[in-house]
Each structure stands twice: as structure tokens, then as C-alpha cells.
A and B are shown apart, each in its own frame.
Chain A
């Protein structure tokens, strides 16, 4: 199997699996129990919390565990708007957000919020001043992803949040950092973010766990009520095994952010090189994108067909974002990729284990596929 769909999900690492197993066999207590078994589970969870917090340059008390980044972003947006949005009724976002954010905004719109989606300019780039101009005294929240999940575009979150906060310090800033966490160096403080969504399964942890960073002093009202776990912000017994798996995965990835980045850059170069010889293939990701994600268009051949063609050789890539199961994405259009280029867009995404050899095989099979499939 050549797995080139790491932006959809990653293979859980050994450390994560070991941690999950330990928390399901030896240390299975309920962290809210008063006895030692409960305390041990709590300690293991505290450790994971500390690891994830410190990877963001934050304090443990800033991290709330959730079931995944979709829940994190829902909690961030709905919870912050519930706390701060009684008078201020406008939300500003980038136009290329992941569905977990974008669909939440659409739902907020129905409950009376005005949503302003800021698009990239003609050069495919976002400019902080465009977000600033979209914000006003009526704005409650600004949300902007760090790395686009379909193209790898890196958005100027840091600059935008700084610019906006300088003029409107009361606006809450949220960033979906799912595709940036453990891949780029991000710190909550330098990002100027009040809220950050993270996912476990994109960083070699199991599915079903995520986290929300909440800056000290920022209020987020809960979406669910119950036993007041996670400081009452996210009630429900914590999924300790998955949380500990998340912590273990982050712990093992953190020392290698720089070297893995270089490796991904090498893979991206190899891929761009390899497909440059194929007629009609264009690379949609810009040069300065996150090297972990390369979006390309396969000579007008419908992406799904090429995807299944490659699949028959055990090569797995994605068409658009896997979360939307092949639905055509509006995001590519935002970046100026339309018509046949968008219909034939494939997303290739890497991890530490991906090799240049695999990239070469992919390019070869892609070439063959383009020549052999009709339509």
C-alpha cells in the first residue's frame, strides 16, 4: 500500500497505540473517581494535557479535550458567540474554511449572525488588511484556518490576528490549526489566537479525540451539560485512552517538526518534478504552501476515476477533502481553480514514512492512468 492521504487521516504511531492499550488494560479508571484508580487515570490525562499544551507554548489549563476538531471548532465558535455575541452579531471568516467551521457559520447565520467570508485576492493570497476592513465594532469573532486542508495554502493568521486585535482587541480570534499542528511551528501566543482547534488523528493519534485551546480569560459556554468534566466546558467522561494516545503521539512527533518538514519539502519537490513531465498535469498548491499537501489537476480527467485507478494499484490519494466524500469543493474555486482543473483535482498528502520512491511510483501510475482512462 502506498498511502498518500495523510491529510485525511494518519496511521496511529506505536507510542499512541501503546498508550491507548495501557489506558484500556491497566489504567482504566474514571478520572473523576476519588480513589487511586481514578487519580491514576487523571494523572495520565494531565500528562497528555501538558504535552499538548506545551506543544502550543501554552499552559495545561488552556486545553480542553473534545471528540475531535469538528467538535472543537463547534465549541469554539458557538461557545464564544454564546458568551460574547449577544450584542455583537457579526462573524468574519476566511472563505476557504474546513466544513467543520464553514457549516457551523452557516448554522450561525440562520440563528441571526451576519457572516462575512473574506476571499483571497486574484493572486490567490489572503491579505490581513482585507480581514481588518471586514471587521467592525459589531464583530464578535474572527476565524481563520492556518493551513488549508485541500491545497496546503498557509494563511497569514498571525499577521491578520495581530492587525485585527490591534484595532479591535475585543474580537475573539479562532484558528483551525488541524493541518498545521505538529507540522509547522505554531504557538498560541505568537498566533494571537484566543481559540485553537486541534485534531488527534491527523497527527498519528487515534480518531475520536481532539482538543480546543482556550486562552486564559476567554469564556466559552458549553454545548453539552452534565458532570462538569473539562472545567464544565465539555461534560462527559473523558475518553482517557484516546486522550493519552493523542498525548503520546504529540510527544513522539514534537522533537522532529523541523526534520519532518524538510522531508515533506523533499517529497513535494520530488512530486512536482515527477509530474512536470506529464502532459496536462498542473500543480495547484503554491510554492510557499505547507509541503505536506500537494494539490494537482490531472489533465481534465475526473478525479474520482483517477483516484479509483490509482487505488487498483494500492495507491491512495484523495479527491478534494475526504470529509466531504468527493463532493466538489468551493475552496478550489476560491483559489482560482475552476472547471476541468477543479474536476480533476487530486490531493496528495505526506507523512514521515512516505518515501521519494513511493512518489515516483505514484507519478508513473498517474501518468499511465491519464493515458488509459476515458472521461
Chain B
């Protein structure tokens, strides 16, 4: 028995010692066993790699996207540190556009000479055009890729297999291509593509190395009708297989893929020696980037022990505090920035009490949002008064206007009561006058249209219909925001004092979404208007486009395009559409003016009550310098500026 114990102990110690067990690494050291390379960053991602490098045509796993964006760059149009669209000066000699007589718009793009893939082969305009020919191909559709072809002239016919060329894309010479955008959607003339504030994105293509996507020796040709592939055709299975080519993957970004191991969930990237630079001409200096799995529960330990060097966007208060404590040792650094998004109470504005703006306002007044944000974000968050992020250029440029015109709905039971009284919530269940402070639920006399089929309505003997101030709230299980909301709002004394009742219904997230989208295709019960209030969170993309999100079109509503169901507010719909489709590209002032008007109307109508916007913290090893990410400029973009001591 003793021998057995001794043998096992010896085995463990032997294995441990053979890999440097017992060494007492300090924060900045590499983990034992990780040899030689010091000019590297180990990026810890809480999202596991799926290994899909297929241009986001199939899926968009966050870690896969990180790898893709590090190895594939050179798109003609990109976004800068502030989220604004810019031409990529490293790849293009210029982008010009002309409006055609038929309302279409043609962009002509010049590609710089001397660009190369990581394998040394040259990149020409044909490689950019090849991207479109693959993306819009019927074979890609067959392989399960999801690319919309409607905006590019002739691309839909090509995608449907009606023709073998794209008439709207022309290969003008080795270094120039053009792309023509439809004015209207060919499948729906009521839907327009132009004018579009972000129309420069239509001109943007990226180089695609054809031999990696097809076994046939394909070349891009243009005989005058449009571009096409000569020498064979694309095959769905080959396109599908291209997603998981890891060895010798040809790419054109700051880094190249050295290996991707799905067993250990690790991607290893090294500098691409042929990279010409990002949109500012910046080239990377960090030799190697390793993307590894960070375990949520122990990632701070991983950082402290040197198993990872960089953690992105920490929000949990205890993790942020630990990162700050670690920073005090001098072995680590932090960078913080505002989230480009928020958590909020989302209302459905077409039935029950939440159809009335006064009720939505009252809910906002009854919640101490500053206290909520402070408690939930444990000191690392802030509050916004509309659907915007504090890092947006639009916010920065209109900060004073917004500060003076937006209602911040500061916590006040009196204001809530005033709103409710003004909205007609002045009755008891029996139709008598409501007495403030009685603790009873308020009622309001409503019209048959307002009453709808809300389950809690009361019909009096004289035929009047009263609606109680009773809100059904849907919240997902195990959600800390819901728990805090229940304490600070639904079960709060101030809510009862104001005469409001909020009933929390805890359900699975899938169930919540079905009710939220009123998805009766899953089950007819979801099509019934049941919950007036949901707590969810959302992020904004760098290009702020809210079109169709506030549509009042019944058909689009049925398709789930306006989950606020703000059907009584065509102005919000108009502004959200005009902001992007009513403004010519480059007219920043018109865009900003519409944006401000949209935010103001949103704030007045209040289809949602913003609760918190986190402050994100990036935590990193002190050996890393100049790695300045923000919510519009992530690690994969910022890392080209970074250095390692």
C-alpha cells in the first residue's frame, strides 16, 4: 500500500517537475513550458473557438471573428477609432462615385499596386472582384452561406443561377473595379437602397484568394457584360471546406494563421511579413498572438499567473476590482472605456398600460437609475437617456444639446404620480376617484381600442371599461438584472405608493424571446399580447443604423422588425429611416440633426427605460504597451499599434 502511494506521488511530482513545477513565477513571466517567444500576446477569450474562418458567411462566433479579422484585412472601407467610415489608405488609391440616370449609383475603386497575400502572391482588383463572385454565388447559397445579394445590380440573378456573371460589377483593369448599387430592392420596389448615409460600405470588398475556394483553376474575367469566373465553376462542398483550412491558409491581414487547434481551443498567429499596413499605414510589431480559452471563473487567475496576457471588456465589479488591485502591483495595466450599448427595460407599446407614454414615464421616475447602475455595475457603469453610447461621435458632437433637451427622468415618486394623473389614471376599480397614498392600484377609463383584449380590464355596470395599472413583466431566469429590478422597482414601496403593480414572470430566455417577438409560428400562445415589459440588453454597431426597428408597417411588425410595437409613433419610424435613407453620404450635419431629433423623440416617447451602460475594463500584462481599445475599436484593430517590452 505504501509503495503504491509513493509511486503515485512520485509520478505526479515527476510530471510536475519536468515542466518546471515548483517555480514561483511572478505576474509578468510566461507559464512554465512556454518557450522562447517573448514578443507575443496571449489573448484570453471567454468565447470558445469554433474554427470557422468562412468570412462570417456562415456563423459569427466572437473568437472566430477575432481570428478572421486579424488575418483578413484590406477591405476598401473600414472604421476608425471613433467608429467613422474611412477609406483604407493602405489598399486603395481612391473611391469615386457617380449617380446614374436610372437612379443606381456606381462606385469606382482603385487598388494600390504592390499588395500581396501572406504567401507573396500579388493582390489585384481581380482578387477583390473574386470576393463578390464567391459571396453571391449559387454554390455558396447551396453550402449554407447567408449573403444578401439584393443591393448589387445583377447579383441576385447571378445568385439565383439565372446568369453566370454579375452585371453590376466590372473589372476595369488590374487595379480598378466598379460596383453599381440598385436604387430599389429588386424583390420589393418599396424598399430602397439609395440614398444611404453609409453607402460607401456598398463599395467595400476584400481580396479573396480563389485557389483556396476552388480546386479548378478559376480566373476572373470581364468581357463587357460584367464579371464572371472562367475555367470552371464553384462547388458548394469546396466552399464549405474552405472554412476549415488552417494549414497554409492564404490571407491578407496583419497576421497569418500558424495553427488552429480545436482540441486545445487555441489559435496561433504570427506577423504577416507582406502586410502593407492598416487604414493609417500602421504595421504590427508584436510577433505572435495566441488566442486561448479564458474560463470566466478563473480568468483573473490565468492573467495573474501569466497563462494569458490580455482580457477584454471586463464588467463584473469583483473582476474589475481585482484587475485594479493587480495594477497596483505594477505588473499589470488596465484600460477602460464606455460600452456602446446598454441594458434597459423594453416596453411593448401597443397594449395594456404600457401603451400609454405616461405609464412608461412613471416607470422611469419610479426607478432610481443612478443607484441601479451603481449597484449593478458595482461602481463601473453609467446611465444614458436614450439609445446611444457615450463613445459615439454623434453623442460627443451633440452632448450639450442632448443635456439640455433630454429628460433624465430623475427618481421622483411625485413626478411619477403627476404623470399618471395627467394620463388619466385617477380611478379605483369601482370607478370612484383614486386617493393618493391609498396603496391601491390605479385604474383608467379607456376606449374600446385602448382596452383591446387586455386580460385585467374591468367593465363597470354603466358600460365603462377600466384598465388597471398592472404591468406583466417577463424576465429570464437566473438574471441578476431581473433580481435587482424586482427589489428596486417591482417590489419597491414607491411603486405601490404610486398605485402601480408590476408582476414578475420568470421564464427561460428562449420563452422570453418568443413572447418578445410574438412568434406564433412556434406556438399560438406567443402571438397573444401578454407581457408589456421585458428587461434585455443590446449593443450598437459602429455604423448607427436603426432603420426598420421602429416600423409601423403591419407586415414588418409581424416579421418581428419592431419589437417595441410603437405603432402609434410614425415619427419615430420616419426619423429612424430618414437618418440613413434620407441623408446623402457625406452629409454629416443632416445625419447628426436627424440623429438628435430621433434621440429626442425617443426620449419623449420612451419605448424603453435605459438602466445601465457598463464601463468596460481591459486588463493586461504590464509588458504590453499602446494597446488602446475602445467599444468601437476592438483588440484586433488596436493590436497593430501595440508593442511588447
Chain A partners chain B: no
Residues of A within 8 A of B (CB): none
Residues of B within 8 A of A (CB): none
